[in-house]
Structure 1
Amino acid sequence: MDDVDVVLPCLDEAAALPGVLAAMPPGFRPLVVDNGSEDGSAEVAAAHGATVIREPQRGYGAAVHAGLAAASAEFVCFLDCDGSLDPGVLPALVALVRAGEAELAVGRRVPVSAEAWPWHARAGNAVVARLLRRRGLPVHDIAAIRAARRTDLLWLGVADRGFGYPLELLCKAAEANWRVRELDVAYRTRASGTRSKVTGSVLGTVRAVRDMAGVLW
């Protein structure tokens, strides 16, 4: 399988990158989008065989979009590179899209411990997911792991360049009547030395919910 690019938005994840890249399935090409790291993440990624893309505009959406723009494969996956999600689940997500069972396949995080997903982050996610289901989208998470065809994603034209990017993607997928399939994926504690920029603190969660509320409104 040589037609899959994996976009990994990255900000100071040097400690986690070696493990994440080593676990990448065969034929899945990692594109690490360095979003201004100061810990040598870009150099670590390159040393472990990843293609490195520099994106100076800060923001999760900015990094993801830069990776999508740089991708060339038919299928594109998106994955956090902090070690919380196993790249080994990516083939199952791609298989759903490849088989024509969905235009977008996403992971539903199942925490392996209470520490893996703080209460404030889980609560914020549940609220937003409930609003999406009211719009007719059968999802229970706004996870950072997903797969779709590159041309389809570009066609959607997601514009958010902050934490609201995943939510806008789901909203536009619903508007386009995309079939969205959700698979359970294990959600682990992050690699030593890393901290989530979104769920690592109450303030981070508030910022993420603020961006997502803007998308919904």
Structure 2
Amino acid sequence: MEIDVVLPCLDEEAALPWVLGRMPDGYRPIVVDNGSTDGSARVAAELGALVVSEPRRGFGAACHAGLLAATGEVVCFMDADASLDPGQLPRVTGPVASGRADLVLGRRVAGPGAAWPLHARLGNAFLGWRLARRTGTRLRDIGPMRACRRADLVALGLTDRRFGYPLEMVLRAAERGWRITETGVDYLPRSGRSKVTGTVRGTLRAVGDMRRVLSGPGGTG
């Protein structure tokens, strides 16, 4: 089974060698350069990744550009900052490949030195509560590592191009009756400072985007 791994990337030159070097056999990395000012695109290409340029800034814009560039039967998403180990991707792809689940999310389990501030944890818990309230789907983490079948995801017609993209994916999948589950993955000390959870402002911006998704058609405001 062909498996593509979409890696949204903004100035991750230092992290990419470790991330791409840990990619399992049979998993094709697609690094989506979202306006990096360092050598991220060059490093990714030198290490054998397919590099896609997405000049429109936004986490969702980068993710969707990678999705459209993917050709594998299964597509994965994960951060490119070394906070997640690509070697654990089979944990999320396994249930999808075997037909036991339609969407699998990696539930982050923080290890020593992992930077997961309290404000980010609280924001994540709030979104999980809102998701359960609206759809009945209960998840402990709206995490960035995930896997599903590519054609099915394209058919969902996701529209958010900011930080609401990961939540919209889960929300639309739940509304379509997908079997959604999660499995534990290690959350590691990342390379550099997070563009989102590293600051209260970044977390609030991400939570705001996701609240907007939840408050869309059929939402509760």
Output the TM-score relative to the length of structure 2.
0.94
Q: Do the aligned residues in 1 keep the contact of 2:114 with 2:187 (CA within 8 Å)?
A: no
Query: 2:60 aligns to what?
Result: 61
Distance 1:142 1:214 in 2: 15
Distance 1:71 1:190 in 2: 26
Letter of the 1:211 counterpart:
D
Query: 1:80 aligns to what?
Result: 79
Question: Which consecutive unaligned segments of at least 5 residues does structure 1 have?
Answer: none
Q: Do the aligned residues in 1 keep the contact of 2:113 with 2:188 (CA within 8 Å)?
A: no
TM-superposition CA deviations, 1:22-81 (whole Å, max 9, x none): 000001000000000001100011111111000000000000000000001101000100
Q: How does 1:139-178 map to 2 (within 5 A)?
A: 139-178=139-178
CA RMSD of aligned residues (A): 1.0
SS of corresponding position for 2:169 = helix
Distance 1:184 1:130 in 2: 19
Distance 2:161 2:50 in 1: 21
Q: CA deviation at 1:114?
A: 6.2
Q: Do the aligned residues in 1 keep the contact of 2:113 with 2:189 (CA within 8 Å)?
A: no
TM-superposition CA deviations, 1:122-178 (whole Å, max 9, x none): 110011011112221121111110000100000111110000000111110110010
Q: Do the aligned residues in 1 keep the contact of 2:114 with 2:190 (CA within 8 Å)?
A: no
SS of corresponding position for 1:5 = strand
**Percentage of pairs with the same residue:** 59
TM-superposition CA deviations, 1:174-199 (whole Å, max 9, x none): 100100010011111102xx221110
Q: CA deviation at 1:115?
A: 4.5
Aligned length: 214
SS of corresponding position for 1:198 = coil
Q: How does 1:5-44 map to 2 (within 5 A)?
A: 5-44=4-43
Distance 2:42 2:92 in 1: 29
Query: 2:219 aligns to what?
Result: none
Letter of the 1:117 counterpart:
W
Question: Which consecutive unaligned segments of at least 5 residues does structure 2 have?
Answer: 216-221
Instruction: Pick the aligned partner of 2:206 from 186, 205, 208.
Output: 208
Query: Hey, which bits of structure 1, 4+ residues long, moved more than 6 A?
Result: none
